[in-house]
Chains A and B, each alone.
Chain A
Amino acid sequence: MIGVLAFYAFAVVLIVSSLLVITARNPVHSVLFLILAFFNAAGLFVLLGAEFVAMILVIVYVGAVAVLFLFVVMMLDIDFSKLRNGAKQFAPLGGFVGLALLAELIMLYQVWPNPPPLLEPDVLDVDNTKALGNVLYTQYVFPFQVSGLILLVAMIGAIVLTLRTRGGVLRQRVGAQVERSEADSVEIQNVSVGTGVSNV
């Protein structure tokens, strides 16, 4: 009973905050609502007994992604209301399309009476993390490894598109320092008295 109540609470807050993400006037508010939505989603995961995924969601999305968004939004001076103006003229049509799709999906749900029951893991028996670990490197090793490649590519992409080598930057070159030999750096001159060093 408490579980059901909690589900509806999380779900309602999730939907409302998602709506607010796209309707809020202030972009900072949007991001904050996004964080709220993430938290509620994490709550739903906890209700399902998937506490590992819930924690990951909080740590990665709330802790990293959303905060990054916040920084970007605050640092870039973008006038969102201007952008929205363009979108507003399409709002009626957009609303219609959205509603139509929603109606179709709802209808679908009604017409299909019995989705097959999914496997229900015994939450208490198996450690969540351990269960994931068991399949991650066996059954799902391929998607896992390819995900690794995706991250690699993302990194390459980020570097390619952003890294600029600027001129005039002084850097310590350890190799050059070590390679330096005495002949390169020291010159012995025989200085006669009273004349000083002339060719430095």
Chain B
Amino acid sequence: MDGFSWIVLSPIKQEIFLSLVGMLLLLVGAFRGKTSVGFIVTAVVVAACGAIAGILSGDWTPIDTLSGMLIVDGFSEWMKVLILSGIVVSLLLSVSWLRENNLLKFEYPILVLFSGVGMLFMVSANNLLSLYVSLELSSLCLYVLAAINRDHLLSSEAGLKYFILGALSSGLLLFGISLVYGYSGTLSYVGISSFLETAESMPYGIMVGMIFMLAGLAFKISAVPFHMWTPDVYHGAPTPVTALFAIVPKVAAFGLIIRLLVGPFAMLAQESAQIIMVISVGSMLVGAFAGLVQNNIKRLLAYSSIANMGYAMLGLLPNVPEGIAGTIIYLTIYMVMVAGVFGILMSLKRNGQSIETISDFAGLSKTSPFMAYAMTALLFSMSGIPPMAGFFGKFFVFQAAIAGGYMVVAVIGVLTSVVAAYYYLRLIKVMFFDESAGNVDENTSLSRHFVTVGALVFVLIFTLLPNHLLQRAIEAATSLFS
């Protein structure tokens, strides 16, 4: 056994740093109470930014550590930057909203931070045990966050629903893990994959274990048929928490799934592709169709995210680096777009109430034209209209799916994206052509504007840099296969 030298811990120094910061800030909060909230938020944001800088400046030759519990490589680098940026962005978005709605508790940023740490571990997990504990760490924080508006009926209901169903999904995941462990005799990714490589006959036990595990994980990315919680939780949770849910955890869960599929279960690629295909097609269909009749913007975004997860999964079908690269680019773009949309959503108020329904957007182009145009650009991007970024995301995953021979799935994807375009365009129509239902207050918060404008710029100029980004993404994805 190796001792805890710096060599062992250095690959995960960002995570250790963030956990220590989190505990320290917890102490600060506990002693100083409400007065320290501003400081804590700032500290969390700064620490996360520091961690991003540390990750970007690091060397990402694949290395496993802590007895093979964790692995860091180019892929985890990409995902970690994504997760931490998501954390930072969601905090920037939420602070002033929470303050206005009297929800800002010092635990909020700390819980966000800890869930972030859990997610960072998730994308580095190299062992079923570390997979499970890191997943639980991040999920537990999210359960609490969903219910953080404890005096609000919808919010606590959302938290409870999320918690119960999450526990069920964890049960499925654990059952799958135990099946895999039982039939392969090991928990480590490397061990499982080498066991599968040398297996003499079809390893049905591990296969079913994998199905259970994927079912448990599909819950986390709200893929059909494990998506039922999503609209209710998105609707019930306070908007900043919804933004967090939409932006970050899915990316982390995707990282986990990708590593599972190309690592331990690489030999079961055919079977896993069948599962991914079913849930991807289901997600695209449900996300596109069920969104049509929604009137609440947050529910709409929930269905939109379900559909988007379906698209992102298309890239996983062929199990090749190009496909994975397509998926992670898709996730990156999706994250930015959603951040922008939530930035706008939280900036708008009508009669002192946050905008909730689609009809609240009526006539926005007249009352706050910048917001309306920014929203339009983002929605165009989400419906995949070139030259916005969203088009490229879809293009890459569809391309990967078609190259892998999944023509039918890709065609379904294109058709559902047409259906989904309806609800994005309807919002635009409401903003520009409907009679205004009264004044909309635009409350300005510098950080929120920063996020919105940043997302807008990214969406608009993405068309200039897709090749560069794709190259980086392929490098990241290739690191998984080495």
Contacts and interface: CB of A to CB of B under 8 A. Distances in A.
A105 interface: yes
Interface stretch (A19-27, A82-90, A143-151): A143-151
A160 B130 contact: no
A100 to B, nearest CB: 13
A-B interface, 7 closest residue pairs, ranked by CB to CB distance from nearest: A157-B144, A142-B69, A146-B133, A138-B1, A142-B66, A160-B107, A112-B205
| Band of interface residues on A | 20 to 34
B134 interface: yes
A65 B215 CA distance: 28
Contacts of A138: 1, 67
A167 interface: no
A10 B75 CA distance: 47
B361 interface: no
A149 B144 contact: no
A156 interface: yes
A105 B178 CA distance: 13
Interface stretch (B182-190, B276-284, B392-400): B182-190
Given A115-B183, A143-B129, A160-B105, A149 B205 contact: no
Contacts of B136: 150
A150 B137 contact: yes
B98 interface: no
A153 B114 contact: yes
B185 A118 contact: yes
A179 B121 CA distance: 47
A149 B66 CA distance: 17
Interface string A155-169: 011011110000000
A154 B203 CA distance: 38
Contacts, number: 93
Contact of B140 (A116, A117, A139, A154): A154
A153 B184 CA distance: 33
Nearest to A134: B1
Given A139-B1, A142-B70, A157 B205 contact: no
B345 interface: no
Given A146-B118, A149-B118, A159-B107, 20 more contacts: A108-B205, A111-B204, A112-B203, A115-B182, A119-B185, A142-B67, A143-B69, A143-B129, A152-B26, A153-B114, A153-B137, A153-B140, A154-B140, A156-B26, A156-B114, A157-B143, A157-B144, A160-B107, A160-B144, A162-B150
A104 interface: yes
Interface in A95-124: 104-105, 108-109, 111-112, 115-119
B147 interface: yes
Contact of A139 (B67, B110, B144): B67
A8 interface: no
Given A149-B19, A153-B114, A161 B140 contact: no
A60 interface: no
6 contacts: A112-B183, A143-B129, A150-B136, A153-B140, A157-B143, A159-B107
Contacts of A108: 204-205, 208
Interface string B134-159: 10110011011001101000000001
